[in-house]
Amino acid sequence: MADLVTHLCTALLPGVLIAGPRATWLALGVVAPDLAARVPGLALDILRRLSVPIPINIEAPFAVMHMPIGVLCGAVLVSQIVHPEQRRQALVWLIAGGALHLAVDALQDHHGHGYFLLFPFSTQRYELGWMGSEATVAWAPWLALLTAVVWGVRWAWLRQRARSGRAIRK
């Protein structure tokens, strides 16, 4: 998996064009696969290192949240906490974010040990192997800076537009 900052930037950079709640859903959708699938395992790892007796492979079922079927079903379930007026749109953008996450991850190289994109229909692993699994670490700060600049420019432009609108009305 690419790092979470890079994942967020891949959603927030194009998200500046759609802005508003759609950009937020896209961003939340893009981080959801890692949060749902990896964070429980990492938390249990920490507990194991502290000698807490955690049963073996108890975190294994969470792995499905990093598969297309888990992304789809998870988005349907999570969208239920969204207000009904926004729910359908939220669902679409959450799924788009999850798909973007899996697409970015599939670019990486894990020596052929890629992602189970078709489980439970196939146990074949897929990856494109175009970049190393830590390659994004070097880009992440620059991507974060670029994202902040792009959103900053948008904010300044909107503010400027609002001011000129008020001036014309006067």
Return residues touching other proteins (CB under 8 A): 3-8, 20-21, 24-25, 27-28, 31, 34-35, 38-39, 41-42, 44-45, 48, 54, 56-57, 59-64, 67, 69-70, 72-74, 76-77, 80-84, 86-87, 90, 110-113, 119-120, 123, 133-134, 137-138, 140
Nearest to 38 by CA among 4, 10, 86: 4
Shortest distance (Å) from residue 65 CB to other proteins: 8
What's the rounded Cα separation, in Å, for the pair 25 and 29? 6
Shortest distance (Å) from residue 49 CB to other proteins: 9
Shortest distance (Å) from residue 147 CB to other proteins: 10
The Cβ of residue 83 has, within 10 Å, a number of other Cβ atoms equal to 7
What's the rounded Cα separation, in Å, for the pair 130 and 136? 12
What's the rounded Cα separation, in Å, for the pair 60 and 58? 6
